[in-house]
Structure 1
Amino acid sequence: KCKHAATFQLFRLTSPHTMSTPIETVVIHPLVLLAAVDHFNRVAKDTKKRVVGVLLGETFKGKVDVLNSYAVPFEEDRKDPSIWFLDHTFHENMYDMFRKVNAKEKVVGWYSTGPKIRGPDLEITELFRKYTKNPLLVIIDVQPTDDLTIPTEAYLSVQSSPEEQSVSERTFQHIPTEIGAAEPEEIGVEHLLRDIRDKTVSTLTTQIAHKVSSLRNLRKHVDEIETYLTNVCSGKIAVNPKIIYLLQGIYNLSPNLKVENLQKSFAVKGNDMMLVVYLCSLIRSVIALHNLINNHQMNKDAEIKAKEDKDKEATAATKAKQKKDEESKKKSEGEKESSDSKEKPKKSSK
């Protein structure tokens, strides 16, 4: 009896539908992004429509792994956002078929190509609540304009604060999003990117480009922090203690650059890295010049060899023609001698 009770307790704690742990992170896998882009290009390309689909995955200790997805028929009125249609019967049939293939993947929410939250999204999220306890809304930007940000945003429907309940009982809470992949998925993505990558660009150049992109993204977030603090100081936005607490933590973690030893360490480290970059560029230039000279020499040798082969062929053809002419001349002379020898006996008989 105790054994059965312990088993039931373990199932209650690990079941994705009864898990009480709040969702802290959402990890989007590459297959979901590819499926959403393909769905959008098939249905709503060159239009202002959005497409909607169901997300499948697993939940463990506050982390949701979105592993798979499928499209769902969806229509909405542009003039009246409250009028919309989602074919939940189609969804139920599709989910039954997916469950036969992989029973571990459960419904974790739905996706939209937004690119922003729209009016009926709360109602659609409540519709998915009958399939999962905490349905997620993941907005996938299939036409991103900013390469510095992740093209996905995840939201969770939560109870509104008492001040906001007069407007709506529930509201969306933003959830941190990541792009993750298992090892087989990484191999597949690498194969897909083979035709996109420029093979002439070295690894060092790619790493420097990633560093520059990260610094640009950091600058963008610093500007957002500055804008928020300016609006708080001017009274346009109310103070949020959680945001101020996080900003204080960021400031506490930032190094004090006024310390002389720290400045010297940064300078030495930077100079060492720049020296390595300079030497690598110098070596790369020397190797490229060496390869260019070798290539020029190889082409020159190939031209000389081709010319020699051509001369040999011409000489052989000339010799063959002379030999043929000599043979034909000898043959004609032999025929003439034989004809002359035949005519002499006839004259003597006469």
Structure 2
Amino acid sequence: MPLGPSSSAVHITNHAASAANAPRTPTSVTVHPVALFSILDHYLRRTDLQDRVIGTLLGTRTETEVEVRSSFAVLHSETSEQVAVDMEYHRAMYELHHKVNPKEVIVGWYSTGSNLNTYSALIQNFYSQETAPNQAIHLAINTGVEEGEQSGVKAYVSSPVGVFPKPENCLFVPVPVELQFHDAERSGIDLITKTAAAPNSTTSQPISDLEILEQSIVTVQDMLERVLAYVQSVLSGEKKGDPAIGRYLMDTLGASTDDLEKGGFNSSLQIDETGYSNDLIPLQPRPVTSRSIL
């Protein structure tokens, strides 16, 4: 069904809702690697005639936070005159996903590229009806294929423009977005990263938990060396200190020092008769922004 301005079947705007009852605007969006990889796979499988691909985002949400856990592709076509989206396919796919994961709901849609136009506003209006009364999230994935554009992920919510808002007229407001992964997903991300950077096409094999721990310790050691080099260069006057970095280091190292003084580190390690630890502290990765992954 076309989503052009001449179509009235899709553009259903509820003007009766008052501003007082309107849902709060999300303050943060979290994207899981599974959803991101699904979007990139959809982009790689596109036809030569498609400049961008779109799809539906699934996940959970609170009043101020949206967590994107998965996604699926949606068939669509764009011309200079109109854009068409297969809404029946979208709803059929959502019913299948909802049977597998009943807790996941539609939270918005995604598209590749950084171009936000009238068609984007029309598609946003359609998904706003799917997520009502909550606002729909638009996730723009820039793959960095085009020259002069940097890869990254941006999230938006829409705001109506004008005294009498029209579906094709809206303002996309940026929302902070980050890529977050669980401990079980870290080994998979590291494996994919190493395979992509490998000079040959040989696929690496998953590594053991002990090797993951060893790599984590080496990574932490490299971070400490970079921090130490930065602090020494600031103290010697080679570099000008950044107050933001100083406050971050003070908060991070201060909390770690408090734990050491209280004996929290020693009490969490239980050494058996063989000299090995029975209770290793898992390294908790900090949420990584999407720009550092892509």
TM-score norm. by structure 1 comes to 0.48
Give the unaligned 5+ runs of structure 2.
1-20, 199-203, 205-217, 240-294
1:27 match: 30
TM alignment of 1:1-350, pairs within 5 A:
20-44=23-47, 49-77=51-79, 79-80=80-81, 83-133=82-132, 134-143=135-144, 151-160=152-161, 170-197=170-197, 203=219, 266-268=234-236
How far has the Cα of 1:19 moved from its partner? 8.6
How far has the Cα of 1:37 moved from its partner? 1.2
Letter in 1 for 2:192: L
- Residues 260-312 of structure 1: CA deviation (Å, up to 9, x unaligned): xxx999325979xxxxxxxxxxxxxxxxxxxxxxxxxxxxxxxxxxxxxxxxx
- Contact kept, 8 Å, 2:43 with 2:53, in 1: the verdict is yes
Letter in 2 for 1:39: H
Letter in 2 for 1:85: A
How far has the Cα of 1:148 moved from its partner? 11
Q: CA RMSD in A?
A: 4.1
- Residues 199-236 of structure 1: CA deviation (Å, up to 9, x unaligned): 9xx8599759x99xxx9xxxxxxxxxxxxxxxxxxxxx
Distance 1:113 1:157 in 2: 17
SS of residue in 1 equivalent to 2:45? helix
How far has the Cα of 1:165 moved from its partner? 6.5
RCO greater where, 1 or 2, for CA within 8 Å and sep 6 or more?
2
Distance change in 2, residues 1:154/1:67 (3 Å): same
Distance 2:197 2:57 in 1: 30
SS of residue in 1 equivalent to 2:24? coil
2:265 match: none
How far has the Cα of 1:158 moved from its partner? 1.1
Kindly, what percent of the aligned residue pairs are identical?
Answer: 25
1:259 match: none
- Contact kept, 8 Å, 2:76 with 2:84, in 1: the verdict is yes
- Residues 305-332 of structure 1: CA deviation (Å, up to 9, x unaligned): xxxxxxxxxxxxxxxxxxxxxxxxxxxx
Which of these two proteins has the greater Rg computed from alpha carbons? 1
Distance 2:50 2:182 in 1: 34
- Contact kept, 8 Å, 1:50 with 1:114, in 2: the verdict is yes
How far has the Cα of 1:119 moved from its partner? 2.0
Distance change in 2, residues 1:128/1:161 (3 Å): same
- Contact kept, 8 Å, 2:125 with 2:167, in 1: the verdict is no
Distance change in 2, residues 1:146/1:270 (3 Å): farther
Distance 1:23 1:30 in 2: 20
- Residues 153-197 of structure 1: CA deviation (Å, up to 9, x unaligned): 1111113366x9699753211111111112222232123223245
Give the count of matched residue pairs.
198
Distance 1:182 1:264 in 2: 34
Distance 1:172 1:139 in 2: 11
- Contact kept, 8 Å, 2:29 with 2:176, in 1: the verdict is yes
| Larger helix share, 1 or 2 | 1
- Contact kept, 8 Å, 2:56 with 2:72, in 1: the verdict is yes
Distance 1:27 1:158 in 2: 21
Distance change in 2, residues 1:66/1:117 (3 Å): same
Distance change in 2, residues 1:110/1:145 (3 Å): same
Distance 1:184 1:204 in 2: 19
Distance 2:237 2:162 in 1: 50
Letter in 1 for 2:75: P
Distance 1:94 1:125 in 2: 19
Letter in 2 for 1:158: S
Distance change in 2, residues 1:195/1:167 (3 Å): closer
Letter in 2 for 1:177: V
Letter in 1 for 2:95: D
1:329 match: none
Distance 1:19 1:103 in 2: 25
Give the unaligned 5+ runs of structure 1.
1-17, 216-262, 272-350
